[in-house]
Structure 1
């Protein structure tokens, strides 16, 4: 009797494990690569440093929506280190004033697989990129440091562009889109110095897109005690050949052109997530 009872328990446990495995398999619709910055200190125009990172809602809200929709997230940074949140983004204004929602999103990020041990971009580029159904680039000022003018980022974006796979970026995240061109570092350095700068073979030339607007950036600069950032991202994108579609400051704005989905500011998080999920679903 004891033996039969043990066998029954074993069979129940086995069936339960199989059921959970099957449920997980059904729930996973595919993988979305999330590209985050490795850096935490933004150099300003005068050479001083400003502490930065990813914006909590710009990363967490779309990440939460993607997971709830059944997608597995794979996190990557240029250095393979853990990304850091910009403490200024830990603010309920980005969550409709809801403290509990902000804390929930913090927990979502804290529980993401690989959040403290991300993949290194160089290693991801050596892997089979076809395993990824889409690419998502959160904002915060950190992308202005190491995702723009980065040849490895350029290779990654070129793959998703050539395959016409959904590519979404929000707020300052779209600045990474300047990387897939000839001599991206020279382009951004010349532009920051005020010299005439021309993008060469930029894969997104003529695309409709958006990015954190200059009026919004100027509001941010008021918190820098008279200091300024090296260049305005929107002006750089326009100089490269983007067809910018900017909305009134601080209003949600998402622009979709072919595989590219861009959001203007932190308040575009939910709309961008919905657009990305819709494109992922249509591509299946």
Structure 2
């Protein structure tokens, strides 16, 4: 155990010093959920995790462009793929492409043992060129209400570094406010909560739309989500921008880059790389 602790400290030290492969263009921080079971209304639950393409397609684009990915979860554990996303529907019908993206994810350093958010904060954030938050419903569980996520995103906002999130990933943008836990609880209890000192108030952004969410909820055999992310973002003060359901849509406002749904994966990655190239 002591030896493992030393190794963990050494890894954080490496990341904090910005040590990387000599041909690397820099590091991109990827925030993922630690959880795989989401609470619904009436005490019911649903299995969840990250969406395969929403994580893997942008990750592949970043790696091919020469960036290194540093993975982090609240607990520092291995993130879980949402099995609902393991379908060729999100890969143009290609089983070969889906398998390739699976292999890309499996080869990312730290995929089986990520850094924790605390380790990321302790190691410093200056070395990261951008931050990326994949979707899947899991970010609703432990990113949207997380003050450590709030500290991380506040750094990227204050330094105008590309901040990208796709599908349900943008719900994590609710974290950098005065009391994200209370805001989320208010959403669940339907008490019309107000976001306080939210750094993204007024930003143009997108997220999985209410109509898309209604289709998903309709597949749950009568189970109901605790709240709709689109409603939450609008209530917080986001300037929500949507395209037709199930079509690619990426919204850019200053450093913030958000994608509406799984089909926005390639366009979102391209916009992140465009901003990085302009630095």
Match of 1:135 in 2: 131
Q: Distance in 2 between matches of 1:29 and 1:154?
A: 26
Measured on the aligned residues, the alpha-carbon RMSD in Å equals 0.9
**Which residue of 27, 50, 55 corresponds with 2:51?**
55
Match of 2:224 in 1: 228
Match of 2:164 in 1: 168
Match of 2:144 in 1: 148
Q: Distance in 2 between matches of 1:187 and 1:222?
A: 26
CA shift in 2, pair 1:121/1:25, >3 Å: closer
Match of 1:112 in 2: 108
Structure 1 unaligned regions, length at least 5: 1-23
**Are 1:266 and 2:266 counterparts?**
no
Is 61-70 or 219-228 further displaced after alignment? 219-228
**Which structure carries more helix by proportion?**
1
Please state how far the C-alpha of 1:92 moved relative to its aligned partner. Answer: 0.1
Query: Where do 4+ consecutive residues of structure 1 move more than 4 Å?
Result: none
Please state how far the C-alpha of 1:27 moved relative to its aligned partner. Answer: 3.2
Match of 1:7 in 2: none
Match of 2:17 in 1: none
**Are 1:83 and 2:105 counterparts?**
no
Match of 2:252 in 1: 256
Match of 1:72 in 2: 68
Secondary structure of residue in 2 paired with 1:223: coil
**Which residue of 32, 36, 43 corresponds with 2:32?**
36
Q: Distance in 1 between matches of 2:192 and 2:21?
A: 52
**TM-score, reference length from structure 1:** 0.90
Alignment map for 1:234-249 (pairs within 5 Å): 234-249=230-245
Match of 1:192 in 2: 188
Please state how far the C-alpha of 1:25 moved relative to its aligned partner. Answer: 4.6
Match of 1:281 in 2: 277
Secondary structure of residue in 1 paired with 2:56: helix
Structure 2 unaligned regions, length at least 5: 1-19
Secondary structure of residue in 2 paired with 1:220: helix
| Aligned residue pairs, count | 260
Secondary structure of residue in 1 paired with 2:120: helix
Secondary structure of residue in 2 paired with 1:82: coil
Q: Distance in 1 between matches of 2:100 and 2:144?
A: 31
Q: Distance in 2 between matches of 1:158 and 1:199?
A: 15
Secondary structure of residue in 2 paired with 1:155: helix
